[in-house]
Amino acid sequence: MKLSIIIPAYNEEDTIADVVRRVEAVPLRGIQKEIIVIDDASKDRTHDVLKTLRNIVTASHQTNKGKGAALSTGIAIATGDIVIFQDADLEYMPEDYPAVIEPLIKKRCDAVMGSRFLHERPVFWGKRKSPYFTHYIGNLLIIWATNFLYRQRFTDYEGCYKAFTRSVLLETPVRAAGFEFDNELMCKLLRKGVRVEEVPIRYLPRTYAQGKKITWRHGLTMLLTIVKWRFARIESGHAATAQKKAA
């Protein structure tokens, strides 16, 4: 069995090498790793750092297209039986991979979402207080809207770690090019009745000074995406491929 790890990267020269090393170090018995890094037209030294790393597959965008576009490029390249998404910063821990992919290996489902809130809820007081109160409120709104519209009871839709059988991804093309990629993908899978399981994952948020990129504007786009795909017609992977060939 092979696991494809897709890492979209934009201006991550300080962390990308450490992320790749940590991914490489995760023990996965009997599972081969395919590490795919997509450089989304970084303006720093990310591209140069990637040249120094071995045993990875790389691709580059000539212009910055967004995280979702980078994930789509990675999905098209991936050859693994299972695909997992990995951010290029150090907010998430690759050591959680075994727990994330276990439901897929045991064939209990076809998609897995990592939930930060199943592991630990943020606190906003004391020495360990989170600086992202507004982000948390936005997350709660996204969770409520998705659960209400799609009749679900999941606890977190914005955690980085999501894993899928590759066939499910190929059958569910995503149009979104930005941070709302995950929302469109998950909403389509829920509409299609794909089996989804949720597992706890760890999360150590970085600051904007350290390179955090997501803002309230992205959250608004996510909410609009959630509403849109509750009602819009969903194309199959085969239909989307046919349209591209015709174009």
pLDDT at 132: 59
pLDDT of residue 9: 97
Q: Report the number of distinct structural domains present in the chain.
A: 1
Residue 92, CB-side half-sphere exposure with 13 Å CA sphere:
23
Give the domain CATH number at 207. Answer: 3.90.550.10
For 57-160, strand residue ranges (E) read 57-60, 82-85, 111-115
> Mind spelling out the 3-state secondary structure of 193-227?
CCCEEEEECCCCCCCCCCCCCCCHHHHHHHHHHHH
Copy the structure tokens of residue 149.
């519209």
Structural domain including 32 reads 2-246
User: Tens-of-pLDDT digits for all 247 residues of the chain?
Assistant: 999 999 999 999 999 999 999 999 999 989 999 999 999 999 999 999 999 999 999 999 999 999 999 999 999 999 999 999 999 988 899 999 999 999 999 999 999 999 998 876 655 555 665 555 677 788 899 999 999 999 999 999 999 999 999 999 999 999 999 999 999 999 999 999 999 999 999 988 755 555 556 776 888 999 999 999 999 999 876 444 434 443 3
